[in-house]
Amino acid sequence: MAKIALAIHGGAGTILKSKMTPDLEREYTGGLEAALKVGWKILEKGGSSLDAVESAVASLEDFPLFNAGRGSVFTHEGKNEMDAAIMDGKTRRAGAVAFVRNVRNPIALARLVMEKTEHVLLAGEGANQFASEMHVPLEPDEYFFTEHRWLQLQDAIATGRVQLDHADAPKFVFSNQQAKGTVGAVACDGKGYLAAATSTGGMTNKKFGRVGDTALIGAGTYADDVCAVSCTGHGEFFMLGVTAYDVAARMKYKKLSLKDAAGETVGRLTEIGGDGGLIAVDAKGNVVLPFNSEGMYRGYIVKGKIVTDIYKG
């Protein structure tokens, strides 16, 4: 039996300890721990990495402080539009959705794309229509309405900014303290199979139907037999750097370890001006969580012991 492993993130960005309150810190840590426990339980019972990452991400989507599912930020039009992707390293199949609305757990819908269609990515009205046909749980707009997200939008509109969830917005303490808009999980199960899942509520004040890296296989999410990767940060740079797949490529073609490959990939991200981080696991159950931003909400379990952290160093 391979060494089971699980890592998660709740986003990366400008997360400064000086601006965090102990109460809020406890809340975030609680959200991370809950998701880790859900995923770990599955792995411990001999479940698949695919089930573990889906469940862990669904838990993070249900937690209102992370920018995914319930806690999604508002677009320019005051809507919540969510993206998610999942990839099964065992079969190398993947499913993803973009611009879905009112879906409680976009990650579950992404998995249905993988399992019930011949496609990899469904977007927009078509993806919402697919959600209806699959009868996935929907929630009313109020479910996704959280006051600090609404204030973020009003602030962003007022200042004319398209705001990634990490952006330093002096007017609202909350918007300083939010994770960059993504959650994700990677896992290695008892059979050594890997999986990755990522979900996001996008950018505050997003316009023009911008698609970020989360739903794109190879950019924000990737899994095969060498590693599974979930990214978080300024999506455009992850798309241009084909970041998630770049970790796998460095392992396969340069024969690097997971740690060295992920380190080089994040180094390259820094070179091109990209801000954020990633979590990754290999088939031996090694876990890495590198990032180049001020902080990244993150956690992992080794030998049953939960470790979570928010800040650098």
Q: CA angle at residue 183 from 60 to 123, to 5 degrees?
A: 105
Instruction: Based on the shown chain and the rule CB under 8 A, indicate whether residue 122 belongs to the binding site for a copy of itself.
Output: yes
Give me the active site residues, please: 182
For residues 116-135, b (16+ Cβ closer than 10 Å) or e, as one string? eeeebbbbeeebbebbeeee
> Would you say 98 and 217 are in contact if contact means Cβ atoms under 8 Å apart?
no
Position among 16, 24, 34, 120 found at the interface with a copy of itself (CB under 8 A): 120
How many alpha carbons fall within 13 Å on the CB side of residue 292?
20
x-or-dash string of contact with a copy of itself, 130-159, rule CB under 8 A? x-----------------------------
Find the distance separating the first CA and the last CA of the chain, reported in whole Å: 33
Tokens of 159: 């200042």
Comparing C-alpha atoms, which of 274, 313, 279, 282 is closest to residue 298? 279
x-or-dash string of contact with a copy of itself, 219-258, rule CB under 8 A? x--x------------xx--xx-x--xx--xx-xxx----
Instruction: Based on the shown chain and the rule CB under 8 A, indicate whether residue 115 belongs to the binding site for a copy of itself.
Output: no
Instruction: Based on the shown chain and the rule CB under 8 A, indicate whether residue 127 belongs to the binding site for a copy of itself.
Output: yes
- Of 21 and 129, nearer to a copy of itself (C-beta) is 129
- Closest distance to a copy of itself from the beta carbon of 193 (Å): 16
Position among 3, 37, 79, 93 found at the interface with a copy of itself (CB under 8 A): 93
- The CA distance from 162 to 167, in Å, is 9
- Closest distance to a copy of itself from the beta carbon of 256 (Å): 9
- Closest distance to a copy of itself from the beta carbon of 8 (Å): 23
Residues 6+ apart with CB under 8 A from 313: none
Comparing C-alpha atoms, which of 140, 9, 151 is closest to residue 74? 151
- The CA distance from 77 to 92, in Å, is 36
Instruction: Based on the shown chain and the rule CB under 8 A, indicate whether residue 74 belongs to the binding site for a copy of itself.
Output: no
- The CA distance from 218 to 213, in Å, is 9
Select the span of 9-17, 60-68, 87-95, 138-146 touching a copy of itself (CB under 8 A).
87-95
- Closest distance to a copy of itself from the beta carbon of 232 (Å): 17
Instruction: Based on the shown chain and the rule CB under 8 A, indicate whether residue 10 belongs to the binding site for a copy of itself.
Output: no
Instruction: Based on the shown chain and the rule CB under 8 A, indicate whether residue 92 belongs to the binding site for a copy of itself.
Output: yes
- Give me the residues that bind a copy of itself (CB under 8 A), please: 92-94, 98-99, 117-127, 129-130, 162, 207-211, 216-219, 222, 235-236, 239-240, 242, 245-246, 249-250, 252-254, 272
